[in-house]
Structure 1
């Protein structure tokens, strides 16, 4: 069964795009069929996948407005090793146009339904704000991965984001749940990092991934070369951490599916 995962946080600079690109590449290396959808008009995930956002034949914009199908817009086996639907500045106009379209919150969901059986994982990167693009991603997804830095303001921001996810769950997508919380730019030498990390685990328990993503120069350099860290420097701490995250995600989903099957049998 396809897992559609939105990677989002209303706070910018927490490693959303880095996580989307590197997790997609790591899942692809484990032989999973992966599609990444770039829902951010900045197009950073597109560029970080080795695709020039300025020369897209079709993008997420055309998919959402109905000018192209999802099948027509997928770039097969982007240089980063997975399939991609890219994005660029055209997407800024989509929000206004979506307001005039039927089922405006479900445009991405309807588009993905036509191709999702071709993939094991579909990862959606989002802008750092709650707008109609993010709502489309959340309405289309089964789970949310929340990357966050272990700092004081991040704790405040995550409660607002969880409130948003709960509202989407109640009003638009009853299947939506938090898949996991990912600690990024982790520096164990800082006492605040450790304090916030402990608070997260205390409050969210198993929803916090055991894998942490360290502050890593190679991870920061890789996007400028249009590559995930795994292809830029596979031995870097950042690349190894995202491979570990992919393994943890696959195991966790397997356990959840097994548990759900058991409950179904008992019911």
Structure 2
């Protein structure tokens, strides 16, 4: 009964659009914490809540592109072309079959070489930032609604791809796995973000920390969640993303969990988390 009420409440939720476009970099230098799942499912959830959302796949693996049902073979124009050849983002972005209002800039394997190619280029850290700003202008010129949210999915390393994402973003969302060693590497990530704030993007802030892969049956998961909350009381979302087979299965069907199994606990958790992020943005 409680689950049905939760579903009903989420379906009837009125999510307000932010006053200006919120650009999130989803980042954690630790691999396997649910970065791509978070990018994809929050984007779909917010689009289903009526927001205009762009996902920029900035990871050579292209997992976000796969999960959102967007082709990303080497023949496809991608974020590589935007970063290296300065192709307009407008020429790369495609609509996702997942839901209305959701757009994707796909990634191809070519991005793996972009790190090396960017090293010698002028304004190498600002390329993504400039491309997003121009894309917003192009949308406006075409009479389209402005974007409400941009999610940039990054590789688990601090190279020029991730630095471009940090410079382009206004907010960092850090997914943290509810397992042993969860906080390992986090202090280094925060130090790196401080360096970016100091030298390249003073507007950047760590606004959101999300607990992923939560298993309420284990004491360890509860202890990790408590520890993270004690360190970052203002930044951790109340909603925790459960460990879920459905979330893991969905990408193999080229879908988000919200489309793959809308009634699952994983889908409901992401819808709830998206609403909480939108509410926090409105209140701040």
Name the residue aligned to 1:217: 245
| In 2: Cα distance, 1:67 partner to 1:243 partner | 35
- Residues 162-173 of structure 1: matches in 2 within 5 Å? 162-173=190-201
CA displacement at 1:67 relative to structure 2: 4.6
1:179-221 Cα distance to aligned partner (Å, 9 max, x none): 1110000011111111111111111002001010001111111
Q: 2:134 aligns with which of 114, 120, 123?
A: 114
SS at match of 2:248: helix
| In 2: Cα distance, 1:170 partner to 1:70 partner | 27
| In 1: Cα distance, 2:75 partner to 2:46 partner | 24
1:74-121 Cα distance to aligned partner (Å, 9 max, x none): 11x211221000001100111111112111011100101112363110
Q: Does 2:110 align with 1:90?
A: yes
Q: How many equivalent residue pairs?
A: 255
Q: 2:50 aligns with which of 31, 50, 58?
A: 31
Deviant stretches of 4+, over 6 Å: none
TM-score, normalization: structure 2?
A: 0.88
TM-score, normalization: structure 1?
A: 0.93
Name the residue aligned to 2:154: 126
* 8 A contact 2:43–2:53 mirrored in 1: yes
* 8 A contact 2:74–2:109 mirrored in 1: no
Name the residue aligned to 2:97: 79
Cα RMSD (Å): 1.1
- Residues 176-215 of structure 1: matches in 2 within 5 Å? 176-215=204-243
| In 2: Cα distance, 1:107 partner to 1:248 partner | 31
SS at match of 2:212: strand
SS at match of 1:206: coil
* 8 A contact 2:74–2:108 mirrored in 1: no
Q: 1:241 aligns with which of 269, 272, 276?
A: 269
| In 2: Cα distance, 1:163 partner to 1:215 partner | 29
| In 2: Cα distance, 1:55 partner to 1:80 partner | 22
Looking at secondary structure, tell me which structure has more helix per residue.
1
CA displacement at 1:134 relative to structure 2: 0.2
| In 2: Cα distance, 1:231 partner to 1:139 partner | 32
CA displacement at 1:55 relative to structure 2: 5.7
Name the residue aligned to 2:87: 68
| In 1: Cα distance, 2:136 partner to 2:169 partner | 11
Q: Which runs of 5+ in 1 are unaligned?
A: 257-267
SS at match of 2:216: coil
1:117-141 Cα distance to aligned partner (Å, 9 max, x none): 6311000000011111000000110
